[in-house]
Chains A and B, each alone.
Chain A
C-alpha cells in the first residue's frame, strides 16, 4: 500500500546528499558585521556579471502534509501551496554567486556569497509580531548538514520588504503630521485625570517654583550678560542646564514618567516662554528638555525644527533596516539573468520577503515577478527540456548535486583532476576577498552559497553544451537574449511533480513534453472536474476500500483512481465529470435519510461514523487558500469553518427537485448523463463520452499502475 505519510521531505526538491568534506570551499560568509562592506563589493561584481546564480535555505517547505505537492495539483492550487509555504517559512540563508566571463583567463570568475539572514523587528512598528514556521524535519535536515543556526539568529542580516518600508515611512509621515493634535489631546487627558490627588498637586507646585526660579535666574543673567548660574544644578542632577539648539534649556533626568507628565503639564499651564520637548538624544535614548523661547513664533519654529529632525531620524532608521533587501534591489535593478535550480518556490520567497504580500492568483504573481526580474533561467528545466543536455546527463537525476557532478566533474572534484573528462569543460575560478583560486576542496553541504555556486557552474556548462561560445559573446550583450537560450528563459516548474511549466513572460502553462519519458509514473491527463475530495471517513478505510465501495455503486470503471491526500482525506477521480455531482447528491441524500435502505447501501461503509464529508475540487482549492494549517486535512476543513457535510455542485433547489429520480439512477449506476449536465454544457458531455472510449486503455493502464503503487 502506498503511504503518503509520514512524508519524508527532502529539503530542496529531490536533491540527494552531497559528499561533504570538512575542508572549506572558498565562500564569503556575510553576517551583520561585514554586511556593508560585502554589499559594496558585491555591487560591483553583480554589475559586471553575465549572470547571477542564487539559492535559498528555508526553515521548511510544507506547513502540513496535505499541502505537499501532489500529481493532483491544478496549477492554481499549486500556486496556493507555494504561496502558503513562502508566507509561513523563513529564509535563513541566501546564496548569491555572480558569474563573469574573463576573456583573458578564458574562464568564468565567480564570487560566491553566503548570506545569513534573519528578520528582526527593528522598527517600533505596531501590530503583529514577526513570526515564522519551522518544519521539524527541515530543521533536522539542516542540522544534519551542520547548518549554523547561531550565526543566523545571533548575527544574521535583517531586512525590510518594500511594502514594510512603505508602511513604516507612511507611519512616520502621519506621526509627524498630526502629532500636535494628538499631544493636545493627551494633555487634556492629563488635566482630566491627574491633578486630583494631593501629592501630585504638591509636586506640580514644587516644579512650578523651581522652573520659575530657573527662568528668573536666566532672565536676570541675560540682562546682566553673565553666565548661566551653575548653582541651579541640584545635587541629584535632575535639572541640568544645557543648551538646546543654541537656546538655554533644562534637561530632565531621573524623573518617573508620571512626574514627567506632571512637569509637562506645569510647563504648558504656567510658562508661556518655556517649551517642553521630547527629543532623541545621543545613544538613541530619548531625552526630555524644557527650552526657553522668546515668543510663540519662535516656539513654532523650534517645534518644527525638532519635528523635522525627528522625522529624518526615523526615516534614516527605516533606511538602515532595509538590510539584505539591498542585494535583491540590486539584482532587480541590474536586470541581470538570474539562474536558479527548481526555483519557483525560491522566487516566491524572494517576492514575499522582499517585495510584498504574494498576489492571490498565479497570473498576477507571474506578471509582477516578470517586472522585477525580467530574465530567469531554471537549470532543472534546462537540463530536462533540451535533448543535447539530456544526453549529457545520461538520464541521471536532475537534482542539483547530481547535475553538478555529472556536468562539471572537473569542478566538483576540484581542479586537481582537470584532465579527467574528455568533454569540453568550462573553466570556473572562485574569487573571495580578492583572492582567486582555481583549486579547492569540493563540496560544502547544503549551504546556500555553495548551492548557488553549483547552480551557476551547471548553467555555464550547459550553455557551453548548447553551443554558446563565451569567447564570442560580447560582454555588453545580455546572455538572456542569446538565441540559443531564448526558448529556455523565464520557464519555471510550477510543479516538478506533474511537470507543469509556466512561462513568466507570457503566463502560458505547458506540460513537460520532452522529458516525460523519464518519469516513472505516467499519469493520464487529470480532469479536475472529475475529482471529488472525501474526508473524515472511518480511519480504517484505505484507498482500495474506498474505490471498491464506490465501484459497487457506479460500476468497476467508474473510478479511475483514489489518492490519499493524507490519512484523513482522499481524492476520488471519476471517469466522467457528471459522476461528481451524482456522487455528491447521493451522499447527501444518504446522509439525510437514516432508513434501512441507506444503511444497507454500498456507500454506507464510507459514511460510517457520520463525519464523512465530500465536495468538488473547488473546495480543496478553497481550503488550500486558507492561512490556517492544521496537520490533518479533516481538522483543517473544520478550522476553515466548513460545517456542511456535502457540497453539491449545483444549486440546492434543483437538487431537491431531482433528488428522488437521481437516487434511483445512481443506484442503478445509469451511465446516461443527468439532464442538468446536458443543459449546462453539451460540448463537454460529447467530448467526455469520446474521452471515455478513446482513453479506456489509458484508464486501465493507470488503474494498474495505481494498484501496483498501492500494493
Chain B
C-alpha cells in the first residue's frame, strides 16, 4: 500500500503548541500507562492515520543469555531467526515506544508515545505469559536511566496476542451468535435417532415458548414461574431463554435447523465448551423484529467491549497494522520477532513462515541499518546516537525535529527517546539518500518505490545484500570476502581461555590441511570457528578428525578432547533448541542426539544441498 503523502500539517499545528527540540532529553514523549491508556487511544489513532511512517522501538528485559546466543556474523538468516525467536519467547517487553511521524523538507514532525507494558494475567488463564526471564544487566541499565519499575508492574498495560484472544473467547464460554458459516448448508440425512432427538427438542421448545408468550395473559405469576422451572427456562439478560444441551456437533446442526422454524422470535446462540466445541445451544426469545435486532446489537457491543478489555495494548498494534503504513525500526529482526510472538501468534519454526506471517500484519518494514548500508562502508552501528553523530560528521543533512507538545510537564522521567532518534536518523538518511523530502512533493510513486526497495530488504534479514532471494551471511566487519558455510568448521574441546591466536598457532603445525590459508575466530570461550580458504579442505579436515589415521600433533589435540563439526551441526543446534550456555556443550548434545537418530542421514543430505548455496562474508580473522 502506498503511504499517503498529502499531509495537512496546518490543521494539526493549529491546535498544537509547536515545539522544536534538538536536545533529546527535552523531547516531550507522552508516557502511557493503564491509567491514561483508554483516553489516549483516539488521539493515537488520529496520529497514526495522518502519519507517513511509524517508528517503533522496544525495551526488553534481556536479549541473549550467552555470548553465542547473540546473532552474529557467521549466522545464516535461518539461524539468526532461530536465535531471535529464542530470545523473543523468553524475554518480555516492558516499554513499547511508537512514533507516527511525517517528513517535510528537512523537518520531521513526530508524535512519540511510550507505552509501559506488563503481562498481567487478568483473566487468570496463564496469559499473556505464564512467566518471563529478566537479565539483571538489562534491569540495572534501565534503573540507571531512572526507569520506574513500580509504575511498570503496578500500572503497566497488559495485552493478549491475536492467537491468545481466540483461545480466550472459547474458554470464557461467551455465547456466540450463529453466523452463516456455522450453519452447514447441506441438510444431513436424518437417522431415526436424529428424528427422535429433533422432535423431542422441538416439543420442549414449543411448550417453553408458549409458556412464555401466553403466560402474561392467562396464568398467574407463580404458575408461570413454576412452569418455567419445569420446562428449563432461564433468563438471558432481560429476555427469557432456554438451553438445549447437545452431545455432538451434528446435534448442534440439527438443533439450529429445527430452530429456523421459530426464527421469527427465537435467536439461537451457541455456548462453547471450555475445551473447544459446543456445549449447548441457547434459544433466546425476543418480542419482535426490532427486539431481535436489538439483541444482536447488544451481543455485538458486549463482545466488542470485552475484546477491547482483553486486547489491551494490542489495540495499538492492531491500529498500526490496519494503517498499513511503513514501519521504521532500528533492529528489526529482534523487534519484530518480539512483536510477532507477543501480539500476533507464537513464532513459527522457520524464517520463511515467520516472514509470510509477519507480512500479513506489517507489509512494509524498513530497518534504518539497511538504509545506512547504502551510504557507504559503514560498520554496523548498534547505537543510534553514535550513528547519528557519525552521519553528522560526514554529511550535511540537518534535520529539524518538531514534536507538537503532548507530554504532561508534571510527569516524572521521560523514556522512549530511542524512537524519536530513529525518526531523526531516518530523516537524515532519507535526506542524504535523496529519497525525500523533494520526492515527497513531486511524486508519491517515486518515494513509494524507493521505500519499497528498502522495505523488501527486511525480508532477507539479516543478509547484507540487496538481493532478497540470495541467502548469505553478513560480513564480519569490512571484509567483503564471502565464504561458504561449507568451509566453516566448529572446533571445541580445547582448554578454556585460549585465544584465537594461540589456537591458530597450535593448528598450524598440526596437520597438512592447515598449510593453506585459514582463519580462526572464537565464538565463545568454549568454541571457535575455523574458516578454510580453499574449498574442500574443511571436509578433508572433518574426515581426518573422525578417522583413525589422525596423527601427530593433531592426534595429541584430539586425545585431549578436541572435536570438530560442520556448519550443519550448528544449524541443528539452533533448530532443535539446544541453547546450552556454552556452545561446545550444545554441539556435543547435537552430535549425540544425531547419532542415535535413524533419519539423520536424510537430514544431512538436505542441509548439505541447502548449505552449498550459502555464503558468509568474512572479516579479518
Contacts and interface: CB of A to CB of B under 8 A. Distances in A.
A136 B502 contact: no
Contacts of B143: 150, 153-154
B140 A131 contact: no
A639 B577 contact: yes
Contact of B153 (A132, A133, A143, A154): A143
A77 to B, nearest CB: 20
Interface in B121-144: 121, 124-126, 129-137, 139-140, 142-143
B501 A5 contact: no
Contact of B277 (A118, A119, A135, A540): A540
Contacts, number: 125
B173 interface: no
Contacts of B139: 118, 153
A97 interface: no
B499 A631 contact: no
A140 B140 contact: no
Highest count of chain B CB atoms <10 Å: which of A7, A135, A188: A135
B292 interface: no
Contacts of A629: 131
Interface in B553-592: 576-577, 581-582
Interface stretch (A59-67, A360-368, A455-463): A59-67
Given A8-B124, A154-B143, A631-B126, A131 B149 contact: no
A281 interface: no
A140 B276 CA distance: 29
Interface string A115-147: 000111100001111111111110110110000
Given A5-B126, A136-B130, A153-B149, A540 B499 contact: no
Interface residues of B, number: 50
Contact of B137 (A130, A136, A152): A130
A148 B136 contact: no
Highest count of chain B CB atoms <10 Å: which of A65, A119, A140: A140
A497 interface: no
A608 interface: no
A129 B67 CA distance: 8
A186 interface: yes
Contacts of A65: 126, 130
A134 B582 CA distance: 24
A643 B598 CA distance: 12
Nearest to B122: A140
A186 B149 CA distance: 44
A641 interface: yes
B134 A131 contact: yes
Contacts of B275: 539-540, 542, 567
B40 interface: no
Given A8-B124, A185-B501, A120 B133 contact: no
B130 A64 contact: yes
Contacts of A135: 130-131
Contact of B134 (A134, A185, A567, A641): A134
B38 to A, nearest CB: 20
A186 B501 CA distance: 7
Interface string B135-162: 1110110110000111011100000000
A132 B124 contact: no
A127 B66 contact: yes
A131 B62 contact: yes
B582 to A, nearest CB: 7
B276 A127 contact: no
Contacts of A152: 149
A189 interface: yes
Given A120-B140, A136-B120, A189-B501, A148 B131 contact: no
A587 to B, nearest CB: 21
20 contacts: A7-B126, A120-B140, A127-B525, A128-B581, A130-B137, A131-B135, A135-B131, A143-B150, A143-B153, A149-B153, A150-B150, A152-B149, A185-B499, A185-B501, A185-B505, A193-B620, A539-B275, A542-B275, A567-B275, A631-B130
Interface of B: 62, 64-67, 92, 118-121, 124-126, 129-137, 139-140, 142-143, 148-150, 152-154, 273, 275-277, 497, 499, 501-502, 505, 524-525, 576-577, 581-582, 593, 597, 620
